[in-house]
């Protein structure tokens, strides 16, 4: 693979302090920053549709990615299937994603309040009232968007289907 492409992908995966500076630069340049988060363990059409829709809400898309330890706490000891570095790298290869930041907490509240995106997006299985960070983003003049859920797709269902194959 081309070295410039490798560097671009690797540079998308970043730390919160570095991303905070990058977000400040983007906003100063007039970019509209969108933030969403998730586990993104076994990527499927529901994830891709959701992230493309989130990206369309602004000019820069940040993905907050649950760390392995966070996923284990939230989904159980057998998850994630793919480790955080693999999940982050896969997300970073997508052209419509501008940054990926891994977080250890159970919620992305610290990321959201530190980065203060212009738009906070979550899937249709949430309501504005149940989205972590919604209140803080709206109080800062930002928008919160609930993106339609694509029925029939989930990593848990994929894992179940694989386990059921004899």
Domain ranges of the chain: 3-164
pLDDT score of 93 more than 70: yes
- Tokens of residue 156, six digits: 């848990």
The CATH number corresponding to 3-164 among 3.90.79.10, 3.30.465.10, 3.40.50.620, 3.40.1030.10 equals 3.40.50.620
Looking at residue 148, its pLDDT comes to 85
Higher pLDDT, 33 or 166: 33
- Mean pLDDT for the stretch of residues 114-136: 93
Higher pLDDT, 63 or 42: 63
Per-residue pLDDT reduced to its tens digit, 77-86: 989 999 999 9
- Mean pLDDT for the stretch of residues 34-51: 92
pTM of the model: 0.91
Looking at residue 146, its pLDDT comes to 95
Count helices and strands in the chain by DSSP H and E runs: 8, 6
**Residue 56 φ then ψ, to 5°:** -70, -10
């Amino acid at each position: 693979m081309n070295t410039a492409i490798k560097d671009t992908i690797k540079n998308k995966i970043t730390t919160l302090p570095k991303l905070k500076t990058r977000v400040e630069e983007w906003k100063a340049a007039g970019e509209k920053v969108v933030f969403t988060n998730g586990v993104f363990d076994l990527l499927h059409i529901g994830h891709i549709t959701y992230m493309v829709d989130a990206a369309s809400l602004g000019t820069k898309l940040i993905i907050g990615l649950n760390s392995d330890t966070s996923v284990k706490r939230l989904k159980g000891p057998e998850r994630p299937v793919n480790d955080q570095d693999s999940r982050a790298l896969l997300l970073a290869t997508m052209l419509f994603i501008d940054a990926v930041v891994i977080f250890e907490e159970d919620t992305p509240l610290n990321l959201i309040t530190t980065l203060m995106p212009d738009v906070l997006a979550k899937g249709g299985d949430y309501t504005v009232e149940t989205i972590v960070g919604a209140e803080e983003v709206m109080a800062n003049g930002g928008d919160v968007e609930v993106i339609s859920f694509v029925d029939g797709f989930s990593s848990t269902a994929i894992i179940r289907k694989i386990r059921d194959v004899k």
